[in-house]
Chain A
Amino acid sequence: MAVLTEEQALLRDMAAEWVADRAPVTALRRMLHEAPGTGYDPALFADMAAMGWAGILVPEEHGGSDFGFVGVGLILEQLGRTLVASPLLSSGLVGVSALSLGAGAVQQAAWLPRIATGEAVVVLALEEEGRHDPSRIALAATREGEGWRLVGVKAPVPDGMAADAFVVAARVAGDGRDGIGLFLIPSDAPGLSREPLARIDGRGAARLRLDRVTVGDDAMLGGAETGGALLDHILDRGRAGLAAEMLGSATQAFETTIDYLGTRTQFGQLIGSFQALQHRAVGMYAELVLTRSAVEAALAALDADSADAPMLVSLAKALAGETLHRVAREMVQMHGGIGMTEEHDAGLYLKRAAVADATWGSSAFHRERYGRLAGY
């Protein structure tokens, strides 16, 4: 555990208490059963917003608390423990980052206060039905008069069914990381339609179709030349937050498994006394320790705006992906048959591991990115 300030420790304890009280894994099961169109429980998110979490990264002049990435990471880690579905990451972190890093004063004033209160959800529409690779964005934005016309498909868009606006990453010129533009587009824009995607983790996601959506120049965040760098910056914040959430999920999956090893009896003894399982448990623990160090370092680097933040973020996301996958698989394996049943939570962690790992770059993507940034 990092050495926290008093305020940070209070925030973490408050989040842990709220999660235990209001959003245990049964809350996710209830949401999956009731299947609201949003892909999360709106009442729970309203509760989170009322505590100020939705605006935790919003600047104070727009009604937020600007608490920083270490702070939001503490909350996301607690939410990850019980797999809480909410747009806190997709909107409260990524949407807010897109707006505060790239939008003009008018757009910021229009959206940030409403995000902070939980009234509005703004998410990034990035992927195009393939592997994560921002340099290969193809959805075309072409000049039309004083503005732009966008045509193409975006999927999956996390929390895309609940969103009030999208930050759409589009190809404005050339290829590669250059020539990417980001456009803020309200969900009721003419030509924009969406349909829900059902994924294995049950969380909200949409397939977005842009059929000649036209927007003005003022919809563009940043500039046409800097869109790729801006997107990296936004994504790194999201990746670090997601890594914190994944750390929470992996920690809980691990602790649940350790508890089981200490209660399940076979051959007349607790299975946790078997050395074969003990050593695997220690191996998982070691990975959790490394992952926590990387996640905390990445969040702190974002707060400090330090130059090594991209490398640390890739380190954190890669380790979080590897660790959550490993722990979730061991959770199933060490629980045996019961771990394969729908009734047991192990499967929920395993499913979430796959989705979270793939989101904004898998472990493989981030190992490669780390290597490139380090000069390998």
Chain B
Amino acid sequence: MTGSDAPAGFRAEARAWLEANFPPSLAYRNPVPYQNDAAFAEADADWQVWRDRMAAQRWGAPGWPVVYGGAGLDAGDVRILAEEMARIGAFNPMKMTGYTMLGPTLLEYGTDAQKAAHLPGIAAGRVRWCQGFSEPGAGSDLASLQTRCTDEGDHWLVEGQKVWTSGANHADWCFALVRTDTSAKQRGISFLLIDMTTPGVETRPITLISGSSHFCEMFLNAVRVPKDNLVGRINEGWGIAKRLLQFERDSLSEGRGGGASLLPLARERLGVDAQGRIAEPDVRARLIRHAMRVQAYNLTRARIGAGIKAGIPGDAMVPVLKNLGSDVAQDRADLMLELLGEQGLGWTGQGYGETEIEAARQWLHSRAFSIYGGSYEIQNNIAAKRTLGLPDAPVRK
């Protein structure tokens, strides 16, 4: 990259278009609230403008084929577009569950009819998807899931319960793992697309320790699903799910090293000594260590990205990056709380500023980073086996 030199080719095109079309009010805003909370996004007029412009430009799914609502860009141009968005603090408004997880999975496993039916809505940011995987008895051990799906001739009949379904209360569709064979574990699972307006589908938000209700319980009572909504073949859903979880880890390993430097806040709240150093030595040491790890993490993402661009596969790194990302983000939330002291403990209302309340909520929320999308421990299991090639434990009888 040539930095401040005048860009050429697609970079010039992307830069000019983004500068003309990205609403400045959204610059450097955290896209996560928009992605997680439909009400939040819909309430923001600029967000809607941005979504519609990106949809018209087809850059919400820049790498997808044109026929499915994408722009058909090659990997190099997709990367350039991302770099140019990052340059001005823009984000992809389509980057939600449907785009990051289901889209790439359907592109690999879906029928032409399924792709044509579902991908354009995702690319335009018009159809919201949720992920019906976890169940009350199937968390880290996902393959033990029990939601039953039986073949009723002209339709599937689904009966069961899902939990931790992000955004289910705002979703239009759900991709779910269901049990089609009780005599096998992994080989009895199928991958099904369920219209959330189908009778028998009910959702209930779960309030988390941070006060947000972005996760839901989802109840499926005698839900009739068309036969065509099965992705891949019956009892072969586990392989598809594993692929989808890779896409999920991919998206979760992105962008945890962001956020403004903690230095100005530290100087303001802790003060500086006669030599201009942060006045509290222990907090200062932690801040320095954090800054170093953030930089090393960002360098790592850039290095692996450059490798992928040059044809060196990065798959093995995904679980490791997910955990490193959780580490730095949780560390940052901890430090924010430390810097704010008593002012970082407000829940609502009087006596606390907006950023102070946000810090407390974010600290609580940050504990989820190492749980969702495959817990810290599950990532380590995957990395031990796939990345390092360590042996499986013998099966206990």
Q: Name A's B-contacting residues (CB within 8 A).
A: 1-3, 258, 261-262, 268-270, 272-275, 278-279, 281-283, 285-286, 289-294, 296-297, 315, 318-319, 367-368, 370-372, 374-376
Contact = CB atoms under 8 A, between A and B. Distances in A.
A281 B390 contact: yes
Interface of A is mostly: helix
B8 interface: no
Interface stretch (B56-64, B180-188, B293-301, B355-363): B293-301
B295 A258 contact: no
Given A278-B380, A279-B384, A370 B296 contact: no
A279 B390 CA distance: 11
B278 A370 contact: no
Contacts of B32: none
A217 B306 CA distance: 49
B392 interface: yes
Contact of A376 (B277, B307, B309): B277
Given A258-B388, A293-B303, A297-B299, A286 B284 contact: no
Contacts of B292: 315, 318-319, 367, 370
A289 B388 contact: no
Interface in B307-353: 307, 309-310, 312, 317, 320, 323-324
Interface residues of B, number: 41
Which of B266, B292, B317 neighbours the largest number of chain A CB atoms within 10 Å of its CB?
A: B292
B377 interface: yes
B223 to A, nearest CB: 38
Nearest to B387: A285
A72 to B, nearest CB: 19
A274 B312 CA distance: 30
Given A282-B383, A315-B295, A261 B323 contact: no
B263 A375 contact: yes
A376 B266 contact: yes
A278 B320 CA distance: 13
A103 B381 CA distance: 55
Contacts of A319: 292, 296
Contacts of A372: 277
Contacts of A292: 300, 303
A29 B390 CA distance: 30
B380 A273 contact: no
B377 A293 contact: no
Contacts of A318: 292
Contacts of A289: 300, 317, 320, 324
A287 to B, nearest CB: 9
Contact of B284 (A273, A283, A315, A376): A376
B295 A282 contact: no
Nearest to B307: A3
A269 B394 contact: yes
Nearest to A288: B320
17 contacts: A262-B391, A269-B391, A273-B393, A279-B384, A281-B384, A282-B323, A282-B384, A283-B380, A286-B323, A290-B296, A297-B299, A297-B303, A318-B292, A371-B277, A371-B284, A371-B291, A376-B266
A303 to B, nearest CB: 16
B285 interface: yes
Given A273-B394, A374-B263, A285 B284 contact: no
Nearest to A284: B388
B293 A290 contact: yes
B278 A315 contact: no
